[in-house]
Amino acid sequence: MEETEKNIQQLQLLEQNIQNFVMQKQQLQMQIVEIDSALEEVGKTKEAYKIVGNIMVSAESVDLKKDLESRKQLIELRVKSMEKQENELKDKEKILRESVLKNMKKK
């Protein structure tokens, strides 16, 4: 029974890790939406500003657009990487869950 309990603890830990990945991924996806909105606004105006530290400074909209697109690409890569890791964790979780259920049925 100790092995089953150990597997159950591992399963719970995996589920918590998956939840953490989902929350982090959602935060990154929210950043992508914000960047898309900023890109749309930058495209509508000739004057653009960006925040540097605690101050707002004038910036060329072309440069600002490049910065935003670059940041968006970086975040999208992070999301893809997290999705891959999340899927690996889900696969491990599925295998472990099946093993726990199998062991519980035997007893």
Tens digits of per-residue pLDDT, 57-89? Answer: 998 889 999 999 999 999 999 999 999 999 999
Classify 107 as helix, strand or coil. Answer: coil
Q: Which residue has the tokens 């530290």?
A: 53
Neighbours of 8 (CB within 10 A): 15
Yes or no: say if 43 and 64 are a contact pair by the CB < 8 Å rule.
no
Query: CATH number of the domain that 45 lies in?
Result: 1.10.287.370
How many structural domains is the chain composed of?
Answer: 1
| Residue 100, domain extent | 2-106
Yes or no: say if 24 and 82 are a contact pair by the CB < 8 Å rule.
yes
pLDDT in tens, 29-50: 999 999 999 999 998 888 888 8
DSSP class of residue 1 equals -
Would you state the pLDDT for residue 1? 59
